[in-house]
Structure 1
Amino acid sequence: MMSSIEDLVVTKAEYRQELVEDHQHVPRPKILWGARHTLALLGFLGFAVVYAMRVNLSVAIVAMVKPQPHDNTSDHDGDGGDFDWNGDTQGLVLGSFFYGYAVTNLMGGRAAEYVGPKLVYGMGVLLTSLFTILSPICAEFSAPLFITLRIFEGFTEGVTFPAMSFMLASWVPPNERAKLSSLVYAGAQFGTVVTLTASGWMCDSDFLGGWPSVFYVFGGLGVIWSIAWFCLAYNHPQLHPRISEEEKHYILHYCGNKRTKPVVLPWKAILTSMPVWAAVMGHLGSNWGFYTLLTELPTYLSNIQHFDMKSNGIRSGLPYLCNWLFSIIYSNLMDWLLVTKRLSILAVRKISNIIAMVVLCLAVGMNGAIFSGYMCSHQDLSPNLAGTLMGITNTVATLPGFISPSVTGALTDGNQTLSAWRTVFIIASVIYFICNTFYLVFISADVQPWNDPTPTTKEGEGEGEMVKKENVIKES
């Protein structure tokens, strides 16, 4: 595997050497659909499936659990679900996924840089799919076993975002990053919309067997997607057997060629970099509000607004439909502003995050702007280490995944009132504001000096070689 993917490392000196040798701007290929678009579509569908398996429980748990005695749920149809889980247990069930998810983000980024993002991303989705199919059996057996399974689901899914971030750094030129990267990541919103809407209907369907069908259907779709991914995706344009020479030259011109040799991560430089911490804070703040609504909105609509299962699923999905549509429109607008040089990359990143935090209610829809904001910052700061950076920020940003449901459960357990839920939403909006402000102050769109890590040959040898190459370029 190592020899087939050439380890996917590029130095700034080599990249600049390419630009010296080819001064002319390389136009986009004339073909309307290329290999990079196929990759983007596969990534889009992959994240749709990934989020389907992540959020299906948010709706299914409403049908799985018996109403709590203080829920004021007299409007609910039927006698409730199969399991007698209190608010704390439900919070643990909903948050357990993120305990495993937090562990593997950093490992996923490094694994993608060593063995290739295709294998890491594909296996992450496939294993998560298999665990999802086992969910009803484990839930019927016991809550602890179901919680353990959800932790393993998070463990396998945690590698997906870092792996894809590294893959996009090799496939998507900077001037197309806002559009194609946003398309890939928008799959998460698309999957959320479809799942929240369809899950309510499936849970209410006697023909499909009720809530277990939610896990069987989306887990099965994940297995089918995995087959397509392993057949059609490639780690790098140079390895793709069907890519046109025009498209390959275009991508390599802007993304750089690759070279072998594993690298030593410049941990001190990364962890003391304020732009990196800005990306961490932007990611953390966005995820707190996003995960609060993602995991708790169906419960809120059921217990406070008293919607039935079908209406609950549809209404839970509507904000994420707005999010998905807005992300597509917004990313194309940002791509046009970059290409026409009306805005700089840094301006796009900052403006995108401002829009994403305006008002908490609107942010559910307009939060789609994040895919042109902090979600692209990893590739801006360090194309070579984009997977590792995504692993770092996503690890920290996973904390809200299990903290937020626990906080919500503590605030609303036996107290399903509008005032309790108002407190939940106020906490989310305050965290949004603080983290986004930090991002705006400290983020950068420049490639950082530590993007060119030292090869693991002799200490200092690689760094000297890079300096030597840059001197040659200056002299030319």
Structure 2
Amino acid sequence: MDEKPSTRKSPEFCSLRYGLALIMHFSNFTMITQRVSLSIAIIAMVNSTQQPGLFNTSTERPLAFTFNHSNRSIKEFNTAEVSVYEWSPETQGIIFSSINYGIILTLIPSGYLAGIFGAKQMLGAGLLISSLLTLFTPLTADFGVILVIVIRTVQGMAQGMAWTGQFTIWAKWAPPLERSKLTSIAGSGAAFGSFIILCVGGLISQALGWPFIFYIFGSIGCVCCLLWFTVIYDDPLHHPCISIREKEHIVSSLVQQSGVLSSLPFIAAASCTILGGQLADFLLSRNLLRLITVRKLFSSLGLLLPSLCAVALPFVASSYTTTIILLILIPGTSNLCDSGFIINTLDVAPRYASFLMGISRGFGLIAGIISSTATGFLISQDSVSGWRNVFFLAAAVNMFGLVFYLTFGQAEIQHWAKERTLTRL
């Protein structure tokens, strides 16, 4: 007798998605240690009380004296043969803040870059760049404080790319009921990294010299990059090592969520239609605005707001929540036009309202055919830049229609649509 395939899920902590969370935990651990390394090392880097190094001592000392003090001499070499810099407190403050400036610069562009290159490549590149710059920090310090500030700023830009790119990956890897667990495992790497660097950073500086703080944690970052580019994939569908059971579990859970999300734009559209109609009639009943002003106001809102949301979409792709909100607002706010130019036919020609509405709906169907064809053409060239061009084109069409309506729109009954009264002789 054939047995039905088991629908029981595999143990969670043996699954690939939890392995991904651990690697991301390691990545966050690495990035925070690289970020805080300078805060620990700078205590020794600007310590002007360091004594001259081993090689400044006299070479005429007896050989036996050298052997008896070999252990102490090695320790002196490790701690005293490193550079010391005359950086004022103001200069140190600029150095510390430069990495934060870099992070801020990439918060918005990182979503756009993730859409072009993929979250895996962007996050991995950010981690690799940050690790290499950490390794070269002791060398750049010898060339001047300006170069250190530049290096730290670029490092902040790299880390900004890596921080925000994580959420793009979790949008495709984390089932809705496991997102809190997975993201907490990954995010806890930053707290653990802060604890470790504060505990061992001073010991490394004292035992080996402050440059080794950068060498050790920069090297750890490079090892993490090897794991990242080898194990991590942008989505479970293309991972060669994922089990069929886990792949089906992740995909099915995200399809179920998509069904709920797909209904939200219709709820938003219905809500905006009802609220827009109520508000428009309220403004007219209280004589707050003229009829043509109300029509142009709601037409402006119904065309301008979704256009702004569409233009913003490519730049917030790294934020799953923001993307969903914008996708809900686009059809929702566009229905404000129902109280604008769509109902305007009842104002200018109530006698022929049905006929004019049929014509306008016909043009709408033609627009749907053209837009579908144009979208397919743009996406076939490149899926990422194609969708961006689709959003920009839709916004441009909306703006053209809005300017045209604001210029020529009217609300008075046209002379050709007025009822003709018959007179008897």
Shorter chain as normaliser: what TM range? 0.5 to 0.7
Shift of 1:258: 13
Using the alignment, how far apart are the partners of 2:252 and 2:330 within structure 1?
Answer: 21
Shift of 1:452: 8.5
Q: C-alpha offsets along residues 384-442 of structure 1, whole Å, 9 cap, x if unaligned?
A: 9561479x9xxxxxxxxxxxxxxxxxxxxxxxxxxxxxxxxxxxxxxxxxxxxxxxxxx
Shift of 1:41: 1.0
Give the match for residue 50 of structure 1. Answer: 31
Q: C-alpha offsets along residues 187-240 of structure 1, whole Å, 9 cap, x if unaligned?
A: 1111111112111101111xx2x1000111111111111111111110001011
Q: Which consecutive residues of structure 1, in runs of 5 or more, have no partner in the other structure? A: 1-25, 69-77, 260-268, 270-381, 393-445, 461-476
Using the alignment, how far apart are the partners of 2:328 and 2:205 within structure 1?
Answer: 48
| Conserved? CA contact 2:48–2:84, under 8 Å | no
| Conserved? CA contact 1:44–1:187, under 8 Å | yes
Give the match for residue 151 of structure 2. Answer: 149
Runs of at least 4 residues off by over 3 Å: 26-32, 78-81, 256-259, 451-458
Shift of 1:184: 0.4
Give the match for residue 238 of structure 1. Answer: 237
**Residues paired across the two proteins, number:** 250
Give the match for residue 325 of structure 2. Answer: 448
> In the alignment, is residue 94 of structure 1 matched against residue 96 of structure 2?
yes
Aligned positions of 1:223-302 closer than 5 A: 223-256=222-255
Q: C-alpha offsets along residues 263-307 of structure 1, whole Å, 9 cap, x if unaligned?
A: xxxxxx9xxxxxxxxxxxxxxxxxxxxxxxxxxxxxxxxxxxxxx
| Conserved? CA contact 1:50–1:125, under 8 Å | yes
Identify if the C-alpha distance between structure 1 residues 242 and 94 changes in structure 2 by more than 3 Å, giving closer, same or farther. Answer: same
| Conserved? CA contact 1:66–1:81, under 8 Å | no
Q: Which amino acid aligns with 2:130?
A: T
| Conserved? CA contact 2:12–2:18, under 8 Å | no
Q: Which amino acid aligns with 1:140?
A: D
Higher relative contact order (CA 8 A, sep 6+): 1
Give the match for residue 126 of structure 2. Answer: 124
Aligned positions of 1:215-226 closer than 5 A: 215-226=214-225
Using the alignment, how far apart are the partners of 1:256 and 1:107 within structure 2?
Answer: 28
Using the alignment, how far apart are the partners of 1:152 and 1:185 within structure 2?
Answer: 22
- Structure with bigger helix share is 2
Using the alignment, how far apart are the partners of 1:194 and 1:451 within structure 2?
Answer: 43
Q: Which amino acid aligns with 1:213?
A: F
Using the alignment, how far apart are the partners of 1:38 and 1:203 within structure 2?
Answer: 33
Q: Which amino acid aligns with 1:235?
A: D
Give the match for residue 45 of structure 2. Answer: 64
Using the alignment, how far apart are the partners of 1:55 and 1:28 within structure 2?
Answer: 40
| Conserved? CA contact 1:118–1:235, under 8 Å | yes
Identity of aligned residues (%): 31
Q: Which consecutive residues of structure 2, in runs of 5 or more, have no partner in the other structure? A: 1-6, 50-78, 259-267, 269-312, 332-386, 396-425
Identify if the C-alpha distance between structure 1 residues 246 and 385 changes in structure 2 by more than 3 Å, giving closer, same or farther. Answer: farther
| Conserved? CA contact 2:140–2:148, under 8 Å | yes
Identify if the C-alpha distance between structure 1 residues 97 and 217 changes in structure 2 by more than 3 Å, giving closer, same or farther. Answer: same
| Conserved? CA contact 1:109–1:389, under 8 Å | no
Bigger-Rg structure (1/2): 2
Q: What is the aligned counterpart of 1:174 among 159, 164, 176?
A: 176
Identify if the C-alpha distance between structure 1 residues 449 and 97 changes in structure 2 by more than 3 Å, giving closer, same or farther. Answer: closer
Identify if the C-alpha distance between structure 1 residues 244 and 87 changes in structure 2 by more than 3 Å, giving closer, same or farther. Answer: same
Using structure 1 for the length normalisation, give the TM-score: 0.48
Q: Which amino acid aligns with 1:40?
A: A
Shift of 1:124: 0.4
| Conserved? CA contact 1:121–1:163, under 8 Å | yes
Using the alignment, how far apart are the partners of 2:12 and 2:32 within structure 1?
Answer: 31
Shift of 1:66: 3.0
Aligned partner of residue 448 in structure 1, secondary structure = helix
Using the alignment, how far apart are the partners of 1:95 and 1:389 within structure 2?
Answer: 28
Q: What value does the CA root-mean-square deviation take over the aligned residues?
A: 3.5
Q: Which amino acid aligns with 1:48?
A: F
